[in-house]
Amino acid sequence: MSKNSQFDHYLSDDGPAALVIREQLSPVEGPDGVLFPATFAAGDGFPGGYNIDTDAAGRNVCLIDSVGSQANRIEPLFMREAYRHLVPQIVIKAGTRDVNLLEAGHRAGDALVRCSSLQQELQDAFKSVLAGNAEALARIAPTSLVFGVWDSRDTQAKLPRVIGSSIRAFNVRKLTRGAVYIPPLDYSELDVFSEEDKAKAEGNNKSPLAQRGFVHNPASAAHGGIIADGGIRRDAILGLAAIRLLHAGDDAEKTRALRRYILGLSLVAFTAKIDSYLRQGCTLVLNTDQPREFVEVYPDGQRRPCGVTHDAALQFASDAAGAFGVGESRTVPFEKERAKRDVKVDETGKGKLKRGGRKAGVSAVNVEAD
């Protein structure tokens, strides 16, 4: 078996549909440590704060890190020294900032990269995707094929994510906390303002004196984190079936090379250690007391152990990248004129709507069955 074909069973129609990792995590302070989940704004009946829901088993479940957030944490892995060689490093120079495509929120569909000198090349690549050839896109932005992309401002080409990962905590107890800001001096004693003004301002968040730190200012019943009595778990999925839907047109050999390349990148991202630090107060590490589940899931539901290591994945990815031919790394300028033209098209396009009509005799059927 050649080194490039060692994972070909993952690309076979008879192979597993996905790889799944379920690993138990723990706050770095310990399993009963307090951690701070993501907070969400109030709206649509949601009071705001932590996203604590009830699952089908009646347990409460708290979202710690969403699929989108995990993807944004994992993708920049390919900027690191050990992995840079696997993907082209496309950097867009915009003013004083350099933005690597791997950090662009919408990946190859991001407005920033579209308004660079890569615009035509990307448009052509997305049009190729729509016509059944993902090779060109894999040369410019291969991680867009791994984490999914939607060219929302141009061709509307969409590619599903191959990797999805999220972290949730179960049976959580919500905590609150209080704090008080104590100024280092009593400014009223220094006649900066009167005692009366001080009394009015203390605890009043709207008071300029409180806002600028001149008086005591308590903050009570604020979000104080959670304790996860039911544990914290990261669920990650690598959708092998999605990789099998990638084609390099009708060329079977190129298609195989493309799929191996994307599989290699996916295996690297999938098996890499995730960043422990998610946000202030939320540093999660592996809970070594609980076994980690890493399985191949077959279409009939069977689950079999998977033994792919990160080192093996990296070696495979390197070989596959070499065989595929990694695209050229480039630094390209953001082009203001392209952006202006792009905005203009958005605005004038609305005025040029062509009204479509249905031909007579074609029925539009949407009936409620009796």
Partner 1 sequence: MASYLCISVRFLQPYSHGRNDNGDPEWPPSPLRTFQAVVAAAAGRWNERRRISYALPALRWLEARPLPVIVAPAGIPSDIRCQFYVPDNTADLLVPAWKKGDLTKQVRRTEKVVCPTHLAGNAVHYIYALPNSQCPYFEVLVAAARSITHLGWGIDMVAGEARIMSRKQIAALDGHHWRPAGAAGTPLRVPTEGTLRDLMAKHEAFLNRMSGDGFSPVPPLRVFRVQRYRRNNEPLQRPYRVFELRNLDGSRFRYPPRKLIHIAGMVRHLAIEAMKQDPPRDVDNDWVETYVAGHAKERSADHRQLSYLPLPSIGHAHADPGVRRVMIVAPVGDGDWLDHLARRLAGQVLKPMRGDEFAGREPPLLVPMSWRARDGVVRAYTESANAWASVTPVILPGHDDHKPDKSVGLIEKALAQSGIEQPCEFEWSAFSRFPKSLSAHKYDMDKRPTGYIRPDHLMTQTAVHLTVRFVDDLQFPGPLAIGAGRHCGFGVMAAPY
Q: Report the site for partner 1 in 162-181 (rule: CB under 8 A).
A: 164, 166
Distance CA(353)–CA(160), nearest Å, equals 29
In which residue are the tokens 């649509």 written? 44
**Taking a C-beta distance cutoff of 8 angstroms, is the pair 53, 60 a contact?**
yes
24 near partner 1, judged by CB under 8 A: no
Q: Is 65 in the site for partner 1 (CB under 8 A)?
A: no
For the bound state, the minimum distance from the C-beta of residue 354 to partner 1, rounded and expressed in Å, comes to 5
Nearer to partner 1, 18 or 146 (CB): 18
Piece in contact with partner 1 (CB under 8 A), picked from 61-69, 135-143, 175-183, 286-294: 61-69
Q: Which of 1, 2, 30, 45 touches partner 1 by CB under 8 A?
A: 45
Return the number of the residue (154 or 229) whose C-beta is nearest partner 1.
154
- Contact region for partner 1 (CB under 8 A) — 14-22, 169-177, 202-210, 277-285? 14-22
Closest Cα to residue 182, out of 221, 153, 216, 211? 216
Binding mask 202-231 for partner 1 (x = CB under 8 A): ------------------------------
Residues 265-304 that bind partner 1 (CB under 8 A): 297-301
Please state, in angstroms and rounded to a whole number, the distance separating the CA atoms of residues 19 and 165: 12
Closest separation between CB of residue 128 and partner 1, Å?
10
Query: Residue 301 carries which side chain, given as an amino acid letter?
Result: G
H-type alpha helices, 131-207: 135-140, 142-147, 195-201
* Number of residues engaging partner 1 in binding (CB under 8 A): 82
Q: Which of 30, 208, 349, 361 binds partner 1 (CB under 8 A)?
A: 349
Question: What is the closest distance, in whole angstroms, from the C-beta atom of residue 226 to partner 1 in the complex?
Answer: 15
Could you tell me the smallest distance in angstroms from the CB atom of residue 360 to partner 1?
Answer: 15
- Which positions from 183 through 202 interact with partner 1, judged by CB under 8 A? none
Q: Mark residue 32 as left, alpha or beta (left: phi above 0; alpha: psi -120 to 50; beta: remaining).
A: alpha
Cβ–Cβ < 8 Å for 248, 257 = yes
Question: What's the longest Cα–Cα distance across the chain?
Answer: 88
- What is the gyration radius of the CA atoms in the chain, in angstroms? 26
- CB within 8 Å of 288: residues ≥ 6 apart: none
352 lines the binding site for partner 1 (CB under 8 A): yes
Q: Which is nearer to partner 1, 51 or 315 (CB)?
A: 51
Strands 158-159 and 303-305: unpaired
Tell me the closest approach of the beta carbon of residue 130 to partner 1, in angstroms: 6
- Asked if 215 and 198 touch (Cβ cutoff 8 Å), the reply is yes
Q: Closest approach of Cβ 89 to partner 1, in Å?
A: 18
CA distance 144 to 152: 13
What is the DSSP code (8-state) at residue 186? Answer: -
How far apart are CB 125 and partner 1 at their closest, in Å?
Answer: 14
Asked if 359 touches partner 1 (CB under 8 A), the answer is no
Q: In 3-state terms, what secondary structure has residue 135?
A: helix
Please pick, from the candidates 222, 245, 331, 341, the single residue that binds partner 1 as defined by CB under 8 A: 245
